[in-house]
Amino acid sequence: MAPISTPQTPFGRVLTAMVTPFTADGALDVAGAQQLAGHLVDAGNDGLIVNGTTGESPTTSDAEKDQLVRAVLEAVGDRAHVVAGIGTNDTRHSVELARAAERAGAHGLLAVTPYYNKPPQEGLLRHFTAIADATGLPVMLYDIPGRSGVPIDTETIVRLADHPRVVANKDAKGDLGRASWAIARSGLAWYSGDDMLNLPLLSVGACGFVSVVGHVVTPELRALLDAYRGGDVQKATEIHQKLLPVFTGMFRTQGVITTKAALTLQGLPAGPLRLPLVELSPEETAQLKLDLAAGGVQL
């Protein structure tokens, strides 16, 4: 099979949505964050998302978010795209965070659908437009109705794509039909935000991944992507199938919980979680070890 044409990749191809390491007493672990960022880029990530859901953004302060962006930029900003999560369910607050991220030097913004207050599509349009208008940085939308309660409709995505700074979408909608239409009509760079659907989303036009399992299998994700783009769909499928236990195991419970447990098992910075998230039980940890081992992850 001939190589597949390459879509635009404004933030790189393989990005990990990075956890936020904390010290034993629950404070921000700046040195740990820099060590983890370096490890992830060394493993093959060409971008990192900081202050996203996996970074426990609901329970970190604005000052901590700013400190984390600056620390990660200092560690890897010359080697990888550093994209700052700035989304909240308050447009004014999101705009403030976007401007702070720009001042800190972030390379782009990740803006999640406002959660809990269930705005109509016109509200979503105005929310994302206000964020895109607020800075000179490129924006990646983040469509995750399972968390936000409201999907970004295809028509809204198409309208937002007219904005010169709305350049990408992180798709965690789990709907390949909607994704197909939105990719075709919007022209946005499309990133899989659901690890189990990384390969299927490539088949309908995605350009890369924003991954959680990238914390432990970045080389395999890059190999999958490279095989697919090189036209070796069979090899990509084999890698996808090999990783199925990892995809399953890392999401048996909330992904931040399992990711921090996996990093701790590998001796990497992670630290405790902030409530309402809680540590894995011994039984859950044992199952995670089995899942990761079945997917070839060395602990």
Three-state SS at 49: strand
278 assigned binding-site residue: no
Annotation marks residue 142 as catalytic:
yes
Q: Which of 115, 142, 191, 228 is catalytic?
A: 142
Q: Which of 65, 116, 118, 170 is catalytic?
A: 170
Residues 245 and 295 sit within 8 Å (Cβ to Cβ): yes
Burial (CB < 10 A; 0-12, 13-18, 19+), residue 15, is buried
Three-state SS at 207: coil
Going by C-alpha positions, the residue among 230, 271, 273 that lies closest to residue 253 is 273
Three-state SS at 90: coil
Strand bridging mode 189-192 / 47-50: unpaired
Residues 281 and 232 sit within 8 Å (Cβ to Cβ): no
**Dist CA 151 CA 43 (whole Å):** 33
**Dist CA 115 CA 95 (whole Å):** 16
19 assigned binding-site residue: no
Q: Structure tokens of 268?
A: 């990497």
Strand bridging mode 81-85 / 14-17: unpaired
Annotation marks residue 289 as catalytic:
no
Residues within the annotated binding site? 54, 210
Residues within the annotated binding site for pyruvate? 54, 210
Active site residues: 142, 170
